[in-house]
Chain A
Amino acid sequence: MNLLRTFSYHKLNCSRMTRCFLGVSALSLFFLLQSCEDDAAPKGKYDEGAIVVNEGGFGSANGTLTFFDEASGQIDQNIFRNEGGDFAGDVVQSIAFSGDKGYVVINGDNKVEIVNGNTFEHLESIESSDLDKPRYVEVIDGKAYISVWGPYEEGGFSLIDSYVLVVDLNTNSVIKKIETDEGTENLLFGGKYLFASNHNFGGSNSVAVIDPTTNSLVKHIELASGPAGSVLDSNGKLWVICTGDFGAANGQLFRIHPETLEVEESIELNVNPDVDLGITPDKSKLIYSVGSSIYSISISATLAPVDKLFEAEDVVYNYAMNVDPDSGNIWIADALNFSTEGKVYVYTNSGVPVTSFNAGISPTQVVFK
């Protein structure tokens, strides 16, 4: 749901070729791909495009990854299958890429599946009894940092012990458990420190700062209720959106210096925004949403915008939002009622519908690669 570090590869100039794809058989498509490979050597079928992470039905083990290439219109559902062979797993929460690998966090299975980031073939699995409700992953220097909710309290559903788990990717074994405030979610590496938002449905109000060189907690920065999505702006500053208290319309945006850790700016949004925070390709404007209402705010602003950027009228239940780092298009994943195939709507940065496509059940994250 947040802007995870994406790795752009040399853009393939296959647009003329892809136009030929329409109406061409799978066999010739194969040969065309081969020829394309001869020209520009793509690393796999899915090396360029967007990945939609679909949770699947809760407890139904049918979470999936959907691939969509806006340029060619190529869409593939369920591109990654786990060792069971049918789907990606139970409640697929998020994906992050590092090098040629993708790291898929399977919340219900308590696993992180490592895949070839271009073909989405299964490579390895990270499993540990410490992986109790994992949420997001960030790879820094051969180590995976995984935000983990941890166990519920005995006889209830309150979180009592959340942390960031550090895993050595050479051995896939746990190196360290870094205790954080409850409900740890989005992760973002700011160049020096790793920032972990502690959301807990608005019950936590801090961002944990982790030093990856020592794998230790530097401090918790107190913000407001429900820190969630985070991005880095054109000045290298960290922005964190806080969703606020339930029904209190008191969400806030915070700007933080990624090295001094000083909170430089706070903006009251007067709404309860959604958890995702996007940024325009030039990293000068933040994009956030409140249901189907999309808002834009300059990184130099001090007050929340009065008017929304646009209304995404087709969207029933905005469950994920992100901004294409190349085109600046705004993508919204609609989970509808969470029991049927979701939809993804693509709008220009002024709200003109570009395209839409079907994803899987409960689409929860859009990542561009």
Chain B
Amino acid sequence: MSLRLGMSVMLSLFAFLAEAQGDSIVLKPVIVYGLPVEKYLAGAHVAPMDTILKAQQDSRHLGELLSFQFPIYFRNYGNGMLSGISMRGSSPQQVAVRWNGININSFSLGQADFSILPAIAFDEVRVHSGGSSALFGSGAIGGSVLLSSSGRPIVPVSVSQEAGSFGRYFTSLQGGFNAGKFSSSTSFYHLQSENDFPVQETGKRQSHAAFTQQGFVQRFEFDISSAKKLKLNYWYHDADRDIQPTIGNTTSTDEQQDRNHRLSVSYEQNNTWGLISLGGGIVNDRIVYNGVKSEVFRWIASAGHQYTFTNGLNLSFGTEWNHIIGKIEEYGLEEPVEDRIDLAASLQKNFKRISASANIRKPFITDIKAPLLPYLGVNILLFENTGHRLSLKSNVSRNFRAPTLNDRYWEETGRMDLQPETSHAAEAGIDWELNRKYNFATTFFAQEVEDWIQWVPGSDGLYRPKNVKEVGTTGFEIRAEANVRSGPFLFRARATYQYTRSVTKETHDSDQASIGKQLIYTPLHTGAATLGGVYKSWSLNFFLQYSGTRYTDASNSSIYALDPFALVDFSVGRAWSQKRHRLDFYITVKNIFDTSYQLYSGRAMPGRNFNVKITYQLKHKTNEPSKNF
């Protein structure tokens, strides 16, 4: 959709809003007893994205934001280019990205491209580290990224404009209204960048890396009664980019267009038998690379039932069906059609000092024997008094990843006899909260992935996918957080560090050099930190990201390794509020030390660059607590 069309739709929406505002009322809270997914993930670490970082930089893609907040590595093929996530030593395909309950990884490639997941498209972003296939199905081995829209519209109108280095402009329009039992929120966004940053290695400007992205997000919610709710989420995203070539290449003409339609509909009903939920969705992903089109259609249906016994035991059952159609030329004349049906059950209970959960899932996939996927987790409160709170967390799980459509149906080389990757994972950690101001947490984790799928060259020169690799991962993670108020000052600091040893234990004959070696693009050391202060309407933040050496070849040769780097971003902001109007102004300096770094071998990343953002918000009439900026 063009921006112009988007704007005209938005303007007519504004006109409608102005009328709707007159009779907006405060609604009664809806009673639907859905348990948050964290409850079922007892013993695991689930963390929301920093709201300040998101508010200031929501025009950035998720990969850019998450890497400043979590010990997660992203292999970006340049600035604004394909971005693959790596959590706890996993591959990008081994992280499940879910949007409003639907897996949105590419079913042809297996991974999600984070560069086309702009933060503005979601109200909530939560990151779960570790295996959770019992809840999230295929691909939830290294972790899961959970994206969702929030309930009621936060503000009726919000308009944002950014301008930045290298011809970067971003515009967003967001609005929402409540009308009786009905509520709606809408976002439009448009991002464009010349992306011709100076390449530090050559002193010349990056050629052929411009991109534009735009999208539209719509949420409707209809509260039929206090116990019945209907929700609809729709997200359209469109990206067009020149593929940033390797350093020194000035003649590239490769380009890629991505277009995604995502629709999720759900109905929830609460009665004496429990909570019934029905869901449905459609996902249509299209990638056009140099004119070659590949497209995957997916229909999703789900049903669930949750019951809470009088003793507090929660029991839930669910099923999910994915009907997948691969419209990809390379698959040959016949379009592959695949069905994936998952059956799942969960138990959750809070005892006096213990919160425990047990989940189990069994996927059924066309011609694939998928394993049974259990998850057992527990949180134990070890000690608590007025100042301290110490708890122990632990979980064990079995996880899996189904072969992708490319793995199975690629003409000549795809293999229907591929098995899914399976993993066994365990973790344990301690959380310590001090005076409600300081938080320390540490987690030790271990995971074994078997039947890891890799494309290996055959004697005929063709690559074929095989279940060849066994990978063992061990590591630990430390998190620390402090929130201190002193007079008019509010200080915040959070830091996280992860040590990840992810090593090939067994593999194909041609890859023996990788045995005992760290996986490629998997740093041993990863860190992230935020240091911020708020004084009256001013805010000031430093964001840090650190990554250790990344090997780019299987034998861990130092010749091909990427050097460690630390990136520091700085932002300063000021807010002005006048009755229902609020204006926010931010200046961000990214990569303030002009560090030269690469996230993928041979792809340049920008040095120091600047961005200015101005946001206007019209707030509700009622005295809702304003968001804490």
B459 CB–A CB distance under 8 Å: yes
Q: Is there an interface contact between B559 and A61, defined as CB atoms closer than 8 Å? A: no
Residue in B245, B511, B603 whose CB lies within 8 Å of A337? B511
B247 touches A360 (CB 8 A): no
Closest CB in chain B relative to A351 CB, distance in Å: 20
Evaluate contact between A109 and B292: CB separation under 8 angstroms.
no
> Is the CB of B202 closer than 8 A to any CB of chain A?
yes
**Of residues A84, A157, A291, which shows the largest number of chain B Cβ atoms within 10 Å of its Cβ?**
A84
Tell me if B94 counts as interface (CB < 8 A to partner A).
no
Q: Does B205 contact A (CB under 8 A)?
A: no
With the chains together, A82 CA to B248 CA distance in Å?
8
A360 and B559: CB pair below 8 A?
Answer: yes
Is A70 close to B, CB under 8 A?
no
Shortest B117–chain A CB gap in Å is 22
Q: How many residues of B contact A (CB 8 A)?
A: 38
Q: Which single member of A90, A132, A156 contacts B248 (CB below 8 Å)? A: A90
Q: Mark B508-533, 1 if CB is under 8 A from A, else 0.
A: 11110110000010000000000000
Is B552's beta carbon under 8 Å from chain A?
Answer: yes
Given A77-B559, A78-B559, is A90 in contact with B249 using a C-beta cutoff of 8 Å? yes
A60 touches B248 (CB 8 A): no
B251→A90 contact, CB < 8 A: no
Docked Cα-Cα span, A228 to B507, in Å, equals 33
- Segment 54-112 of A: residues with Cβ below 8 Å from B: 57, 59-62, 64, 77-78, 82-87, 89-90, 108-111
Taking a contact as CB atoms closer than 8 A, the residue among B251, B293, B508 that contacts A129 in the complex is B251
B511:A340 contact, CB within 8 angstroms: yes
With an 8 A cutoff between CB atoms, is A361 at the interface? yes
B244 to chain A, nearest CB (A): 11
Which residue from B249, B460, B602 sits with its C-beta under 8 Å from A110? Answer: B249
**B window 433-472: CB within 8 A of A:** 456-457, 459-460
User: Across the interface, do A57 and B552 meet the contact criterion of CB distance under 8 Å?
Assistant: yes
* Inter-chain contact A127/B250, CB cutoff 8 Å: yes
Q: B555 at the A/B interface (Cβ < 8 Å)?
A: yes
Whether B508 pairs with A337 at a CB distance below 8 angstroms is yes
List residues of chain B with CB within 8 A of the CB of A6.
none
**A339 interfacial by beta-carbon distance below 8 Å:** yes
Q: Which residue of A lies closest to B254 (CB)?
A: A59
Contact of B553 among A57, A78, A127, A154 (CB under 8 A): A57
CA distance A82 to B553 in the complex (A): 20
- Chain A CB count within 10 A is highest, among B248, B251, B511, for B248
Does residue B560 face the partner (Cβ distance < 8 Å to A)?
Answer: yes
Flag B235-277 by CB within 8 Å of A: 1 or 0 each.
0000000000111111110000000000000000000000000
Q: Would you call A357 an interface residue if the criterion is a C-beta within 8 Å of the partner chain's C-beta atoms?
A: no
- For B201, B460, B553, the residue with the greatest tally of chain A CB atoms inside 10 Å of its CB is B553
Closest A residue by C-beta to B330: A157
> Nearest Cβ distance between residue B282 and chain A, in whole angstroms?
26
**B583 in the interface (beta carbon within 8 A):** no
A90 to B557, CA, bound (A): 18
Q: Are B554 and A339 in contact (CB under 8 A)?
A: yes
Q: A78-B559, A84-B201 are in contact. Are A109 and B246 (CB under 8 A)?
A: yes
A residues contacting the other copy or chain, number (CB 8 A): 43
Residues of A within 8 A of B248 (CB): 61, 82-84, 89-90, 109, 111
Residues of B contacting A131 in the complex (Cβ-Cβ under 8 angstroms): 251
Among B250, B292, B293, B559, max chain A CB count under 10 A is at B559
A60 to B511, CA, bound (A): 19
Q: Which residues of B contact A361 (CB under 8 A)?
A: 553, 560
Residues of A within 8 Å of B513, CB to CB, are: 336, 340-341
B458 to chain A: closest CB distance in Å? 9
The one of B199, B246, B553 that contacts A340, using a Cβ cutoff of 8 Å: B553
Instruction: For B457, give its contact among A64, A152, A154, A317 (CB under 8 Å).
Output: A317
Q: When the two chains form their complex, are residues B291 and A60 in contact, meaning their CB atoms are under 8 A apart?
A: no
Cβ of A341: which chain B residues have Cβ within 8 Å of it? 513, 553, 555, 557, 559
A354 to chain B, nearest CB (A): 22
Q: Residue-by-residue, is B542-553 near A (CB-CB < 8 Å gives 1, otherwise 0)?
A: 000000000011
Contact in complex: A61, B601 (CB < 8 Å): yes
Q: Which residue of B lies closest to A91 (CB)?
A: B246
Q: Which residues of A contact B201 (CB under 8 A)?
A: 83-86
Question: In this complex, what residue of B is CB-closest to A86?
Answer: B201
Contact A338 B457 (CB under 8 A): yes
The minimal Cβ–Cβ distance linking A149 to chain B, given in whole angstroms, is 13
Interface residues of B in 546-603 (CB under 8 A from A): 552-555, 557, 559-560, 600-603
Q: Which of B246, B510, B601, B603 contacts A336 (CB 8 A)?
A: B510
| B290 interface hit (Cβ, 8 Å) | yes
State how many angstroms separate the Cβ of A23 from the closest Cβ of chain B.
22
Chain A contacts of B459 at CB under 8 A?
A: 291, 317
How would you classify the secondary structure of chain A's contact residues: helix, strand, loop or mixed? Answer: loop
Most chain-B CB neighbours within 10 Å: which of A64, A127, A155? A155
Please give, as numbers and ranges, the residues of chain A lying within 8 Å of B602 by CB-CB distance: 59-62, 86-87, 90
Interface string of B86-129 (1 = CB under 8 A from A): 00000000000000000000000000000000000000000000
Kindly supply a per-residue 1/0 record for chain A positions 329-349, scoring 1 wherever the CB is within 8 Å of any chain B CB and 0 otherwise. Answer: 000000111111100000000
Beta-carbon contacts under 8 Å, B209-259 to A: 245-252
Chain A residue, CB-CB nearest to B251: A110
Is A50 part of the contact surface with B, judged by Cβ < 8 Å? no
Residue of A82, A111, A336, A360 with most chain B CB atoms under a 10 A cut-off:
A336
- Asked if A316 is at the interface (CB within 8 A of a chain B CB), the reply is yes
Is A142 an interface position by the 8 A CB rule?
no
- Closest chain B CB from A110 CB (angstroms): 4
Q: Is the CB of B553 within 8 A of A339?
A: yes
The answer to whether B456 touches A337 (Cβ under 8 A) is yes
B456 in contact with A62 (CB, 8 Å): no
Q: Which residues of A contact B600 (CB under 8 A)?
A: 60
Residues of B within 8 A of A339 (CB): 511, 520, 553-554
Looking at the complex, which one of B249, B291, B508, B520 makes contact with A108 (CB distance below 8 Å)? B249
Contacts of A61 in B (CB 8 A): 246-249, 601-603
Interface residue A247 (Cβ < 8 Å from any Cβ of B): yes
Taking CB atoms, residues of chain A closer than 8 Å to B552 are 57, 60, 62
**Cα separation A291 to B510 with both chains bound (whole Å):** 14
- Which residues of chain B come closer than 8 Å to A154, judged between CB atoms? 291
Most buried by A among B246, B250, B520, B600: B246
Give chain B residues whose Cβ lies under 8 Å from the Cβ of A60: 246, 552, 560, 600-602
Give A329 to B513 CA distance when docked, in angstroms.
26
B249 x A152 contact (CB < 8 A):
no
Chain B residues in 8 Å Cβ range of A247:
460
Shortest CB–CB separation between residue A321 and chain B, in angstroms? 15
Distance of A87 Cα from B246 Cα, bound (Å): 11
* Distance to closest chain A CB from B559 (angstroms): 6
Given A109-B245, A339-B554, output 12 extra A-B contacts at Cβ < 8 Å.
A61-B249, A86-B602, A90-B249, A109-B251, A110-B252, A111-B248, A132-B251, A155-B291, A336-B511, A337-B508, A340-B553, A340-B557
**B contact residues vs A (CB 8 Å cutoff):** 77, 199, 201-202, 245-252, 290-293, 456-457, 459-460, 508-511, 513-514, 520, 552-555, 557, 559-560, 600-603
Chain A to chain B: the 9 pairs with minimum beta-carbon distance, closest first: A61-B602, A61-B246, A340-B554, A155-B291, A60-B601, A337-B510, A90-B246, A110-B251, A84-B201
Residues of A within 8 A of B (CB): 57, 59-62, 64, 77-78, 82-87, 89-90, 108-111, 127, 129, 131-132, 152, 154-157, 246-247, 291, 316-317, 335-341, 360-361
Q: List 13 A-B contacts (CB under 8 A).
A: A57-B560, A62-B602, A78-B559, A83-B202, A85-B201, A109-B245, A109-B246, A110-B252, A157-B292, A337-B457, A337-B510, A340-B553, A340-B554
